[in-house]
A and B are shown apart, each in its own frame.
Chain A
Amino acid sequence: GENVEQHPSTLSVQEGDSAVIKCTYSDSASNYFPWYKQELGKRPQLIIDIRSNVGEKKDQRIAVTLNKTAKHFSLHITETQPEDSAVYFCAASIDFGNEKLTFGTGTGLTIIP
């Protein structure tokens, strides 16, 4: 089955600087890659996703890049703010129509004011 590895497990960034979280996946058939943000005690919420037919997607301060050849994708957060502090999960899925997601182990991001 699919295996997703995520790095780093924790990340501290000065407010205003950029943060980058990286994930690799094992199954070349995976075609959907979402990123979720989970604040303490809350449910995960989708912040951005990308499908394998594009290499990059941007939404304001958040961007995701995908390298299908290397089987890795990354989340980039620019101009970080204190409210960006949370745990971030990457995920990958093979099936379109039954999005059985395999999640990474999460990255705890702390923004230092």
Chain B
Amino acid sequence: SQTIHQWPATLVQPVGSPLSLECTVEGTSNPNLYWYRQAAGRGLQLLFYSVGIGQISSEVPQNLSASRPQDRQFILSSKKLLLSDSGFYLCAWTGTHGGEQFFGPGTRLTVL
């Protein structure tokens, strides 16, 4: 069966520090991968999605970037965090032909 992992689960970082969040999927090949951010009490904002290795589409301008170095690995990064980057970051995947989108357990990021 397929599983999706995210780490770390929680993170507290100072303003201006770098960020690296990792997401990996097991049990499937060539998934579509997604990064979302959820501010406290708010909806889900799509940040990036990827349909293959090295293929990244950005949905909103921000100081974040994403990379997909391997088929089942998706990384969210920042060179310098802002206070507004605080939130709950969720990775998700779907199969190549779409259908149900499965979410990872999330990373709760607090920028101080």
Chain A interfacial positions (CB closer than 8 Å to B): 32, 34, 42-46, 49, 89, 93, 95-106
Contact = CB atoms under 8 A, between A and B. Distances in A.
Nearest 4 Cβ contacts at the A-B interface: A43-B103, A99-B98, A105-B43, A103-B44
Interface residues of B, number: 21
Interface string B2-14: 0000000000000
Chief secondary structure at chain A's binding surface: loop
Given A43-B105, A44-B90, A98 B32 contact: yes
B46 A105 contact: no
A97 B44 contact: no
Given A97-B97, A103-B46, A106-B42, 12 more contacts: A34-B101, A44-B90, A46-B101, A49-B100, A89-B43, A89-B44, A93-B98, A97-B98, A98-B49, A99-B32, A100-B49, A105-B42
Nearest to A43: B103
